[in-house]
Amino acid sequence: MDVTSYQNQAEGFVKRYLLSDPLLPYTSVLAGIFLCKMVYDLTDSYSSIHIKSYSALTKMKRIEWNNSLQGLMVLRSSPLSNFGLGVSVGYFLADLGMIIWLYPSLGGLEYIFHHSLSGVAVAYSLFSGEAQLYTYMVLISEVTTPSINLRWFLDTAGLKRSKAYLINGVAIFLAWLTARILLFIYMFYHVYIHYDQVVQLNTFGYLLVFVVPIALSVMNLMWFGKIVKGLKKTLEKRQ
């Protein structure tokens, strides 16, 4: 049986059973929310009565406890998260190789430092299984890359005075502020309230949780200053 036949059977099953009732998709979403809330409330009630140390937990730790999360948060991993980290390591290696091979056309020492530091941290998290949550928080900052690349394309194409260039500049500002400034602040806060778990990491992992984000934060703030100046100059030219 070919792939098309399997696909048709799967689509038929979805239409006949899973989506036979127009309200079923919405009902399933509500059911999922209800079940999660039910588990949360039941865990809270049971823990309050039978777990003596539960009352001494902070509000944030109670929320994590009630959501039935097992094991230390800093040691959680999965095949899917490992795959994502592996792809990220491959990206950093490939991009770093291009930067070094064509140095300094594609970037200076700051890019080599950024990619090397990030690659080492991601690789360690991948092979050790430690601090993957924080690793992904840092990796989210790479969502700014497409808009940065688009800026170069627009500039090279002679569209620096176009509306698209301005819109992309605003997008870079907002994305950078969110993913590389505010998210890092939240990550440091998260490390602070979960320090009792972070301190249980291996020495190398413990250092990476602090050294890498701090170093990247300094670089992000420096680059953000340049982004603000560039956006301000672009807006002034349009007045």
- For 202-213, the pLDDT digits (tens) are 999 999 999 999
Using 50, 70 and 90 to split pLDDT, how confident is the model at 105? confident
Distance CA 150, CA 144 (A): 10
Q: Is the confidence at residue 184, as pLDDT, over 80?
A: yes
Over residues 4-29, mean pLDDT? 54
Give the number of residues written for the chain.
Answer: 239
**Average of per-residue pLDDT values in the chain:** 81
Farthest-apart Cα atoms in the chain, separation:
69
Alpha helices in the chain (DSSP H): 3-13, 24-50, 59-66, 79-101, 109-128, 132-139, 145-156, 163-176, 183-193, 195-198, 203-237
Residue 156's SS3 state is helix
How far are the Cα atoms of 162, 206, 227, 235 from residue 105, in angstroms, in the given order? 26, 35, 20, 28
Q: What is the pLDDT of residues 36-60, one digit of tens each?
A: 567 667 777 776 776 666 677 777 6
